[in-house]
Each structure stands twice: as structure tokens, then as C-alpha cells.
Structure 1
Amino acid sequence: MITLIGKPGCHLCDEAREVVSRVAGELGVPWEERDILQDEELYRKYWEQIPVTLIDGRQHDFWRVDEKRLRAALEK
């Protein structure tokens, strides 16, 4: 499971969403998006790092999503 943490109006989040959506779709991996503006705990933890990607609840990347790195982590 991939979790993308971001917020509306964030251009890096938009780019990350495209990569996550494409990779998850191709590999058949479920994913969700969480908005830091709707969750105080996520905001406190990640506000300087968005977008953040988690794989199975563990932080994988922040600021940018590297497609090759994401694929490699999911194919393990």
C-alpha cells in the first residue's frame, strides 16, 4: 500500500500523484492520498517535507517521487 501525503495546491504533490498513480496502476498496488490540512498529526510530522510517500506505513520518499526508486521498492 502506498500512501501519498500532501495538500491541495502543491505542484510537487500534483507531480507525485501522477507518478504514484501510474506506478501503482501498472503494478496493481493499492494507494491512497492523505491531506495534511485535514490531519494535525500528519501536518506536524510532514509539513516541511510534502509530498511524502509511505510504503506500508514506512516513509519512502519526500519532496519528489523517483519513479525508478518507487518501482524497485514495490517489486521487492
Structure 2
Amino acid sequence: MRLILYGKPGCHLCEGLEEKLEQIRGVLNFELELRDITSRDDWFNAYQYEVPVLCKESAGKEELLPRPSPRASTAQVQLMLQKYLSNN
């Protein structure tokens, strides 16, 4: 399973979610790909007001996942991901 995190440099919300995902990566088996929206116009136009954006990639298609609250604990993010990753 692969998760894609769209974000931008200097975004504290993006960095916070990335940190939580890194902490649970060993518990849940997934790869994490970070995508800087400032590196491509299509990503920037799609997500400039939405970052961080989390997607799961399955069969070559991206599926948007609900964005966890910035106040969500690492455990809460893990529970949310378990729900969405098990629906595979």
C-alpha cells in the first residue's frame, strides 16, 4: 500500500501530518511518498488551498482520504488509516 502526501515547504500542517505518518509507518505497512505541490503546476493548482492532502494509491489510481484534524493525535491518525486501508 502506498500513501501520497501532497504538501509544500514551510507548511506546519503538512510537517505535522508527515511526522505522525512516519511514526505509524512501522505499525501499518505502507510506503509514504511526499509530493511538493510547488514542483508542478497541476499539483499546485489542484491543492494550493487544501494542503496537506493525503491519498492512497491502489491499482494505479489515487483516492483522496479525509484530512485528519491538525489536533488529531498520532493514535487517532492511525485509527483513521486502519479504517481506510482495510477497505482495500
Bin of the TM-score, shorter chain as denominator length? 0.7 to 0.9
Paired residues for 1:59-74 under 5 Å: 59-62=64-67, 64=69, 67=77, 68-74=79-85
Match of 1:26 in 2: 27
Aligned residues: 76
Alpha-carbon distance, 1:64 to partner:
3.8
Match of 2:5 in 1: 4
TM-score of the superposition, structure 1-length normalised? 0.85
Percent same amino acid among aligned pairs?
28
Is the CA contact 1:12–1:63 (under 8 Å) kept in the aligned structure 2?
Answer: no
Match of 1:51 in 2: 52
Q: Which protein is bigger by CA-based radius of gyration?
A: 2
RMSD: 1.8
TM-score of the superposition, structure 2-length normalised? 0.75
1:41 maps onto 2:42 in alignment:
yes
Task: Point out 4+ residue stretches in structure 1 off by more than 3 angstroms.
Answer: 62-66
5+ residue gaps, structure 2, are 71-75
Which structure shows the bigger proportion of residues in helix conformation? 1
5+ residue gaps, structure 1, are none
